[in-house]
Structure 1
Amino acid sequence: MSPAADRALLRLEGVHTHIGAYHILHGVDLAAREGEVTMLLGRNGAGKTTTLRTVMGLWRAGAGRVLLDGRPIQALPTPEIARLDIAYVPENMGIFGDLTVRENLLLAARRARSLDELDTARLDWLFDLFPALRKFWLYPAGKLSGGQKQMLAIARAMVEPRRLLLIDEPTKGLAPAIIRNLIEALQEIKRGRDGARTTVLLVEQNFMVAQALGDGVAVMDDGRVVHAGRMADLAGDEALQQRLLGLSLAAHQ
């Protein structure tokens, strides 16, 4: 086992996932090191979203193991997985458009039954990360801009401390200025609050975002992880970028 896997909070070992008649994941091996951001990269259809959904139990692993801190979780129902302090931000964000920003956050706080029971210090921290949420506190979430909805989706996942945060393409379709703001917020989440860092597994198509946020990286192709290592090493190797992703970072600067 590699040193990265030895220090991993999350590990996938030989994971296969079928969706109906389709065999999507073909023996995925993946390690997300504790306290780090691991970028999950690859072309469209490589299996990245299926990997996140398999970790959450939304789609079941037909073979292999999903381990959190060494504990197999692949057979647990999704609500039990979430109670292990794992949060998932899907590509469609999954917010409730008819509810206010406040109601969306309260709904995600399993330990709070009312606004008074929310951790106010943590809420202030989230407002510092995403100031628009304070401004639109009583605003229907469905009327927020795309960037504001993405901020709400991430804040909702972080309204309580999480050991592991799974995020699927948070910058997709956003304007460059909003992407920069989101990168800054995710960097702050990466640094952690009160010294408690959250482990993040993040799917992203924007290589510049991946370079800015990633500590580790795994590249998928055809339902398998075909490369795993440090993000800085991939960012510094144009030939490897071209071979794995069909792009060169230098061409995007």
Structure 2
Amino acid sequence: MSDLLELKGVHTHIGAYHILHGVDFAVPAGQVTMLLGRNGAGKTTTLRTIMGLWAASQGSITFDGVPIGGPAAGEAARGRRGTPDIAQLGIAYVPENMGIFADLTVSENMLLAARGARSVAGLDTARLEWIFGLFPALKKFWLYPAGKLSGGQKQMLAIARAIVEPRRLLLIDEPSKGLAPAIVQNLIAALRELKSTATTILLVEQNFAMARALGDSVAVMDDGRVVHRGSMAELAGDEALQQRLLGLSLAVHQ
């Protein structure tokens, strides 16, 4: 299976701080790749660097063979390639804080994410119905201010906005954080459905039961570096490896 996204030797500096130290991993097309690691390992910085929110100071980031970040992309490309341009390639980012607009309705939030519609009435009806099948609460609260949704419903809205139009790659940062187990199971089911549509997903997650349920491949980070790459099934089946890489066992997160 070909790789849709590839990072090679990526370094990222934020001010005086050197956060990423030569990150190397690939995201196979059509799969869910888990990006795991302890708090502060550099996972969120990696996602933000891919999206161009922070610039890679060294190394390369390529999407479907096209350079999108790092000095390897060239001066001209770096001058043009910002987050909007990267999004135009079919990459969507769901940040940890979800980034919804609390004062706008659910429908207005969805409209803002849809490049092909100028009004709510112009949204793709068939795709909306598909999204409502994944997240029924969004249909129920379609005209409610997003700020009045529960935490789980806000997360559903954040993911729904990312897929209001077809995307080739989703970057999702800790979607289960702070959510009840039943809501987490709903998210797992929705992300499995997305995977079945050949959507490629790079997922940062601290809920290891969710990682085990969804992941095909995995990259584990520590101190700004990738220290392990392999299959999620291999990691899930090796408690000694889990303890060494993550400091805990997946067995306690069933």
Task: Name the % identity.
Answer: 77
Correspondence for 1:100:
105
Q: C-alpha displacement at 1:70, in angstroms?
A: 1.0
SS in 2 for 1:201: strand
SS in 2 for 1:30: strand
* Total equivalences in the alignment: 244
Correspondence for 2:174:
169
Structure 1, unmatched stretches of 5+, are none
SS in 1 for 2:107: helix
Picking from 129, 136, 144, the partner of 1:131 is 136
Matched, 1:17 2:8: no
Q: C-alpha displacement at 1:251, in angstroms?
A: 2.5
Spell out, residue by residue over 1:142-173, the C-alpha distance to the aligned partner (whole angstroms, 9 max, x if none).
01000000000000000000011000000000
Q: TM-score, normalised by structure 2?
A: 0.95
Q: Which moved more, 1:19-28 or 1:180-189?
A: 180-189
Correspondence for 1:39:
34
Correspondence for 1:228:
229
Q: C-alpha displacement at 1:190, in angstroms?
A: 1.1
Spell out, residue by residue over 1:53-94, the C-alpha distance to the aligned partner (whole angstroms, 9 max, x if none).
000000000010010011100121111001111100000000
Q: Distance in 1 between matches of 2:50 and 2:66?
A: 13
Matched, 1:53 2:48: yes
SS in 1 for 2:84: helix
Q: Distance in 2 between matches of 1:181 and 1:137?
A: 19
Matched, 1:71 2:72: no
4+ runs of 1 displaced by more than 3 Å? none
CA RMSD of aligned residues (A): 0.8
Q: Distance in 2 between matches of 1:190 and 1:163?
A: 11
Correspondence for 1:207:
208
Q: Which moved more, 1:109-118 or 1:63-72?
A: 109-118
Tell whether the 8 Å contact from 2:99 to 2:158 is kept in structure 1 after alignment: yes
Matched, 1:240 2:241: yes
Q: Distance in 2 between matches of 1:57 and 1:33?
A: 20
Q: Distance in 1 between matches of 2:55 and 2:164?
A: 27
Correspondence for 1:81:
86
One-letter amino acid of the counterpart of residue 57, structure 1 = G
Correspondence for 2:75:
none
Q: TM-score, normalised by structure 1?
A: 0.95
Structure 2, unmatched stretches of 5+, are 70-77
SS in 2 for 1:51: helix
